[in-house]
């Protein structure tokens, strides 16, 4: 009964003024999707491009956030929803918006290893060298999670290999600690400094040796 009444009211409103926003809200109601900020972000994260488009057409704030400070673009990046990411970027979503941990969509896409989303965000001006509250950059996330293709893309677009996190670690140190051979190779090829010293006086080679990653340690010794 309540649903029928709601649809009737929206139909009358649409017929009376013919506004695009009213039409979009009516379509959302027909899909049984409440017009709320929470549902907007959830649908973006779930990859529901049609619903996301209707929310935007209905006038929702594209930069609205949930309790974690997450925007729809961040949710779509986390869910690796390429189509929704494209839509949100085309509609003006801020690629540098940060959540309450200062994390961005680019950091998330780099951590997840989604090269397509990384490229989409970079094309729209995502800042390569922003840090989250731990001092982590997108490059550090990609290095830590063993995504050499993304490491290469980020550096070619201008990511700084010598930025340090809150522990004084560089991206090379993070890759060496995890034993990620290909990531270390890419970083070294792009000129990452193997002699940089962390806050507690260790180099990337020291970290690799401590963890037993002999191949990585040898690569760093040769450099």
**DSSP letters of 105-171?**
HHHHHHHHT-HHHHHHHHHTT--TT---TTS--HHHHHHHTT-HHHHHHHHHTT--TT---TTS--H
- Best CA proximity match to 67, nearest among 46, 49, 41, 89: 41
Residue 18: predicted pLDDT: 43
Residue 103: predicted pLDDT: 98
Note the pTM of the prediction, 2 decimals: 0.89
- Determine the angle formed by the axes of helices 214-222 and 204-211, rounding to 10 degrees: 160
Residue 14: predicted pLDDT: 45
Residue 194: predicted pLDDT: 96
- Report yes or no: 40 and 50 within 8 Å, Cβ to Cβ: no
Rounded to whole angstroms, the Cα distance separating 70 from 125 reads 19
- Report yes or no: 122 and 153 within 8 Å, Cβ to Cβ: yes
Query: Judging by beta carbons within 10 Å of its beta carbon (0-12, 13-18, 19+), is residue 196 exposed, middle or buried?
Result: middle
Residue 4: predicted pLDDT: 53
Residue 22: predicted pLDDT: 94
Residue 16: predicted pLDDT: 42
pLDDT tens per residue, range 40-96: 999 999 999 999 999 999 999 999 999 999 999 999 999 999 999 999 999 999 999
pLDDT tens across the length of the chain (223 residues): 455 555 545 455 544 444 699 999 999 999 999 999 999 999 999 999 999 999 999 999 999 999 999 999 999 999 999 999 999 999 999 999 999 999 999 999 999 999 999 999 999 999 999 999 999 999 999 999 999 999 999 999 999 999 999 999 999 999 999 999 999 999 999 999 999 999 999 999 999 999 999 999 999 996 4
∠ CA 92-93-96 to the nearest 5 degrees?
A: 125
């Amino acid at each position: 009964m309540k649903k029928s009444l709601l649809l009737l009211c929206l139909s009358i409103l649409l017929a009376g003024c013919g506004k695009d926003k009213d039409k979009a809200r009516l379509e959302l109601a027909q899909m049984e999707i409440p017009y709320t900020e929470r549902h907007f972000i959830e649908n973006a994260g779930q990859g529901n491009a049609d619903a996301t488009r209707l929310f935007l057409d209905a006038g929702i704030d594209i930069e609205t956030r949930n309790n974690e400070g997450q925007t729809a673009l961040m949710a779509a990046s986390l869910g690796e929803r390429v189509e929704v990411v494209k839509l949100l970027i085309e509609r003006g979503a801020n690629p540098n918006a940060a959540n309450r941990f200062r994390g961005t969509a680019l950091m998330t896409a780099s951590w997840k290893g989604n090269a397509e989303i990384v490229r989409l965000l970079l094309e729209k001006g995502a800042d390569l060298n922003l840090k989250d509250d731990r001092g982590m950059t997108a490059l550090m996330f990609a290095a830590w999670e063993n995504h050499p293709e993304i490491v290469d893309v980020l550096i070619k677009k201008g990511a700084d290999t010598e930025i340090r996190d809150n522990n004084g670690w560089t991206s090379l140190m993070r890759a060496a600690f995890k034993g990620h051979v290909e990531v270390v190779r890419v970083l070294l090829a792009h000129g990452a400094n193997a002699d940089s010293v962390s806050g507690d006086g260790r180099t990337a080679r020291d970290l690799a040796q401590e963890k037993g990653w002999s191949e990585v340690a040898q690569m760093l010794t040769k450099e």
